[in-house]
Amino acid sequence: MNTHLMTFQNTSIVLGEGLRQSVLLEDACKTSSIVLIADENIAELYGKEMQSYLQSSSKEVYLLTFPPGEASKSRATKEKLEDQMQKKGLGRDTTLIGIGGGVTTDLAGFIASTYCRGIPLILMPTSLLGMVDASIGGKTGVNTPYGKNLIGTFYLPETLIIDFDFLVSLPKEGIEEGLVEVIKMALTSDKKLFDEMEKAGESLLKLDKPLKRIIKRACEIKLEVISTDFEEKKGMRRILNFEHTVGHALEKFFNYQMPHGTAVAIGIIAESFIACELELLKRTYFNRIVKLLKPLAPCKQFDLREVYDYMILDKKSQDQLPRFVLIDNIGHVLAFNDDYCTLVEEDVVLNALQFIQEI
Amino acid sequence: MNTHLMTFQNTSIVLGEGLRQSVLLEDACKTSSIVLIADENIAELYGKEMQSYLQSSSKEVYLLTFPPGEASKSRATKEKLEDQMQKKGLGRDTTLIGIGGGVTTDLAGFIASTYCRGIPLILMPTSLLGMVDASIGGKTGVNTPYGKNLIGTFYLPETLIIDFDFLVSLPKEGIEEGLVEVIKMALTSDKKLFDEMEKAGESLLKLDKPLKRIIKRACEIKLEVISTDFEEKKGMRRILNFEHTVGHALEKFFNYQMPHGTAVAIGIIAESFIACELELLKRTYFNRIVKLLKPLAPCKQFDLREVYDYMILDKKSQDQLPRFVLIDNIGHVLAFNDDYCTLVEEDVVLNALQFIQEI
């Protein structure tokens, strides 16, 4: 078993194999009670065996579940799970372990942060996206009828356990979705990582050394970003909005039926096209970006004007014009006077939208 | 206008007169929107005039209200108020001002801590209890069907404004309730303050210099305690839990219909009785405590066993046994290996409960 350890504030981050049934996990639970939180699918796949494993250390271990899907990321689910914990008489001497994708880690983190005003939290992301993005950074929250993640806290887990073995059961689409997110990170923050992913190519779709290396590097990047701006008070965070202007508009146009990873991939290509058109980004770099992302960005037909109009609704837009986070190099975002985004002429944007329909 | 300033972490604490319509309050609001949260009574008394006053600084100012009483300190009220804020499109650029007693400051603090993962908070306690206790220390929270304050956060206001003028309209019971809390502080931390209150006697019931002195001293004590142990990770902050094991159980038994001050007064007597029975506290001290608190602790009949069972639900309990914070002198709490609480035999606890029914 090969584990890599990093620490951020009081969080230990452990990466490796076989961690979901390990002494390391047992040791991370310092309380007399443990609550595992997972959606019904993950509970079936892993939750029950983890419960049995942890029970052998003679602790009280409960497994609480909720229906899978984004709809469960709500105040109602939070309340239901809290009530189940309270009914069992659980107090502060309880560790909460969230096992699953972003919905679960966000929900479990929010519950841990407000249960008895904060109990120890362990997160175990099971999706690639969760490993490289959602579970890192202490953002917790739920959706409301008014929008996503509107109610939540900043709350760090004591331990973040990234068990590569969870990826074995992940479908190809799940791996691709996570890879797109890593490519995005590389484009905004780390040229070396981009080079590495280009070289690794298709081999990243297998659970092997190259993928594990990339996960580790992505965690490091995310940690660097959040350690400079943990509560998103500075403008830096805007760089995470790269591809959002196009990506979110597409998701809205397709009524959220387009896979998130696809929207991100297409968004990256479109916004890199804009940077290239404006002669901010070299064409050779742009071509490399297109080449790497094309397999992950299946061509879709859509109404240019309608998608353009959705962009104007974006939080960053100004004077009825959409604004964009733009890169001027692989691994570097333009600061635009610390705004980290800029207005772009309508015809350039429409050309970009035209382009992504034709690749 | 005479204001006294203290600071704790990033919180400024201001005490004085006429503060609810002051440049100081205006300056404390650095965002473009302001939400005042108050119960319907306080909104009528002060909220509306404060709204008009703050609107004159050409900011968007909203007044949101809820029905008065402990029943409003719930997840349901929190959700309703959040939805009203979201409906108005309010984001992070919003300051939340909570004006009222402990219910309001706890609720407003909890909302501020989770709205967009945290927005600026100003607290203005209107009750003596709020001034000396509830609004200081960053504890926020709501009750659930399983107990008080079970869901919440630690979240400090940017500014805590203690306007003595609010006390003018407070009934005698309200003053007494606050005084009980100050007696509690004196018992755990400051013998001199206890002596002073014994001497001052009835004069504390008027809004005059002795009362103001005591408020300021109480704030100082509370700050000393929390500044050494903000998130109750060490045992130290536990000393604030003196009387809670009995007090909270009684409140639950009487379905939160017993005035909080009464529960605290009875709780202090019961837990001092335990300390005396265990020969930790001298009987002469115990008698002084009973004498000072008796007028504030009207005798009540209740089911011993049921109240005992509620104690086990307390956050401090261990192995299904209640634990207690105990004093061994006026102004001093026993450390019990830095746990600042200890298990007590069932029969001693039941004797204490018997005693408080008979005084």
> Phi-psi region for residue A147, left (φ > 0), alpha (ψ -120 to 50) or beta?
left
Q: Is the pLDDT of residue A235 over 70?
A: no
Taking CB atoms and an 8 Å limit, are B83 and A144 in contact across chains? yes
Contact between B98 and B124 under an 8 Å Cβ cutoff? The reply is yes
How is residue A77 written in tokens? Answer: 């689910």
A77 CB burial (10 A radius; 0-12, 13-18, 19+):
buried
Residues A166-178, mean pLDDT to the nearest whole number: 89
| Cβ-nearest to A146 among B87, B149, B232 | B87
What are the pLDDT digits (tens) for B155-177?
999 999 999 999 988 888 889 98
Q: Is the pLDDT of residue A1 over 60?
A: no
| Cβ-nearest to A87 among B115, B146, B315 | B146
Contact between B237 and B226 under an 8 Å Cβ cutoff? The reply is yes
What are the pLDDT digits (tens) for A268-312?
999 999 999 999 999 999 999 999 999 999 888 999 999 999 998
| Cβ-nearest to A154 among B118, B147, B312 | B118
What is the pTM for the complete model shown?
Answer: 0.86
DSSP alpha helix (H) spans, chain B: 23-28, 40-42, 48-55, 75-87, 102-114, 128-129, 172-189, 191-200, 209-228, 244-253, 260-277, 283-293, 304-312, 346-358
How is residue B81 written in tokens? Answer: 């108020």
Residues A257-266, mean pLDDT to the nearest whole number: 92
Taking CB atoms and an 8 Å limit, are B117 and A86 in contact across chains? no
Chain A residues with CB under 8 Å of B152 CB are 114, 117
Q: Is the pLDDT of residue A101 over 70?
A: yes
% of chain B at pLDDT higher than 90: 71
Instruction: Supply angle C-alpha A246, A252, A257, rounded to 5.
Output: 110
Whether A335 has its CB under 8 Å from any CB of chain B: the answer is no
Q: Is the pLDDT of residue B17 over 80?
A: yes
Instruction: Supply angle C-alpha B68, B69, B74, rounded to 5.
Output: 105
Chain A residues with CB under 8 Å of B140 CB are 117
What secondary structure letter does DSSP report for B19?
G
How is residue A340 written in tokens? Answer: 């980290």
Taking CB atoms and an 8 Å limit, are A139 and B150 in contact across chains? no
Distance CA A245, CA B84 (A): 28
Residues B281-304, mean pLDDT to the nearest whole number: 93
CA A239 to chain centre: 14
Residues B55-62, mean pLDDT to the nearest whole number: 90
Residues B102-125, mean pLDDT to the nearest whole number: 97
| Cβ-nearest to A113 among B144, B153, B313 | B153
Q: Chain B, 169-228: which have a CB under 8 Å from a chain A CB?
A: none
Contact between A161 and A14 under an 8 Å Cβ cutoff? The reply is yes
Taking CB atoms and an 8 Å limit, are B116 and A150 in contact across chains? yes
Whether B230 has its CB under 8 Å from any CB of chain A: the answer is no
Q: Is the pLDDT of residue A65 over 80?
A: yes
| Cβ-nearest to B86 among A139, A150, A154 | A150
Minimal-distance CA residue of chain A relative to B149: A116
Instruction: Supply angle C-alpha B91, B95, B98, rounded to 5.
Output: 125
Alpha-carbon Rg of chain B, whole angstroms? 20
What secondary structure letter does DSSP report for A139?
B
Taking CB atoms and an 8 Å limit, are A141 and B117 in contact across chains? yes
Taking CB atoms and an 8 Å limit, are B151 and A114 in contact across chains? yes
Q: How far is A292 from chain B (nearest CA, A)?
A: 35
DSSP alpha helix (H) spans, chain A: 23-28, 40-42, 48-55, 75-87, 102-114, 128-129, 172-189, 191-200, 209-228, 244-253, 260-277, 283-293, 304-312, 346-358
ipTM, two decimals, is 0.88
What is the reported pLDDT for A228? 75
pLDDT tier at B291, thresholds 50, 70, 90: very high
- Sorted by sequence, the CB contacts under 8 Å of residue A99 that are 6+ apart come out as A20, A36, A37, A38, A42, A46, A47, A50, A124, A126
Residues B30-41, mean pLDDT to the nearest whole number: 96
Taking CB atoms and an 8 Å limit, are B151 and A115 in contact across chains? yes
Taking CB atoms and an 8 Å limit, are B86 and A141 in contact across chains? no
Taking CB atoms and an 8 Å limit, are A114 and B152 in contact across chains? yes
For chain B, the 3-state helix, strand and coil shares in percent, each to the nearest 5, are 55, 20, 30
Return mean pLDDT, chain A. Answer: 92
What is the reported pLDDT for A225? 76
What are the pLDDT digits (tens) for A311-335?
988 778 887 889 999 999 999 999 8
Q: Which of A9, A111, A114 to mutate to test the interface with B (most CBs of B within 10 A)?
A: A114
